């Protein structure tokens, strides 16, 4: 009955994002979220996928090719620079963003997301996110430095103005080995 972490993150995106929206896959990894997002925004929407690792960029492009997806742009850059790659029109139709924090599965576990760049990315996205849009963070924190990233991001989202944003925490608290959890930020007003 309860949705798993990935399933729930996708459910949240489906509920908030509309056909024709612009969305951001802030950590495209192997491209699974990019493919999913391209389906929910439809042919008139667009997905921007970001990653700093060439391996992630290649895997995402391969995944998009397999699914014959043409409404996505994949960029090798930090998610902290995401909004600088979008046009004004794309920024005004920004319906959501998804992050998978931690490291790319099957790759160098020393290359991990950092709270400084993630918080910059969140701030930039929130400054343009349309009303009822959403930012979903899937926080994998069972790696070196993961506890610091978790703490900093939780501190950041706690201070968001409750009149402008709803912030949700979703996770399974009885699982072992630092289970991932979700933070979702919904924009209430502009």
pLDDT at 74 over 90: yes
Domain range for 66: 5-187
Note the pTM of the prediction, 2 decimals. Answer: 0.95
Q: Tell me how many domains the chain contains.
A: 1
For the segment 157-183, the average pLDDT, to the nearest whole number, is 95
Please check whether residue 164 is in contact with residue 125, taking contact to mean a CB–CB distance below 8 angstroms. Answer: no
Residue 57's pLDDT band, with cuts at 50, 70 and 90, is very high
What was the pLDDT predicted at 162?
Answer: 96
What was the pLDDT predicted at 104?
Answer: 64
Query: Pick from 92, 84, 89, 77: which is nearest to 26 by CA?
Result: 77
Secondary structure of residue 185 in the 3-state scheme: strand
pLDDT per residue over 125-156, tens digit each? 999 999 999 999 999 887 788 889 999 999 99
Query: Pick from 32, 2, 1: which is nearest to 13 by CA?
Result: 32
d(CA 106, CA 108): 7
Helix axes 32-41, 5-16, angle to 10 degrees: 30
**Maximal CA-CA distance, the chain:** 44
Q: Share the mean pLDDT of the chain.
A: 93
Residue 59's pLDDT band, with cuts at 50, 70 and 90, is very high
Residue 124's pLDDT band, with cuts at 50, 70 and 90, is very high
CATH number, residue 36: 3.40.50.150
For the chain, what percent of residues have pLDDT higher than 90?
84
């Amino acid at each position: 009955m309860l949705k798993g972490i990935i399933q729930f993150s996708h459910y949240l995106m489906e509920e908030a994002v509309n056909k024709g929206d612009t969305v951001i896959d802030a950590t495209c990894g192997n491209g699974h979220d990019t493919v999913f997002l391209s389906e929910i925004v439809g042919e008139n929407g667009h997905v921007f996928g970001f990653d700093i690792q060439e391996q992630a960029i290649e895997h995402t492009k391969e995944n998009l090719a397999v699914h014959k997806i043409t409404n996505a742009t994949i960029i090798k850059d930090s998610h902290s620079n995401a909004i600088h790659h979008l046009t004004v029109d794309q920024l005004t139709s920004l319906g959501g963003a998804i992050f998978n924090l931690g490291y790319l599965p099957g790759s160098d576990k020393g290359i991990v997301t950092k709270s400084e760049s993630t918080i910059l990315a969140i701030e930039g996205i929130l400054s343009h996110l349309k009303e009822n849009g959403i930012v979903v963070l899937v926080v994998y924190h069972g790696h070196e430095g993961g506890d610091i990233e978790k703490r900093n991001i939780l501190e950041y989202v706690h201070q968001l103005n409750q009149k402008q944003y709803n912030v949700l925490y979703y996770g399974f608290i009885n699982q072992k080995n630092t289970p991932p959890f979700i933070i979702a930020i919904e924009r209430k007003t502009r």
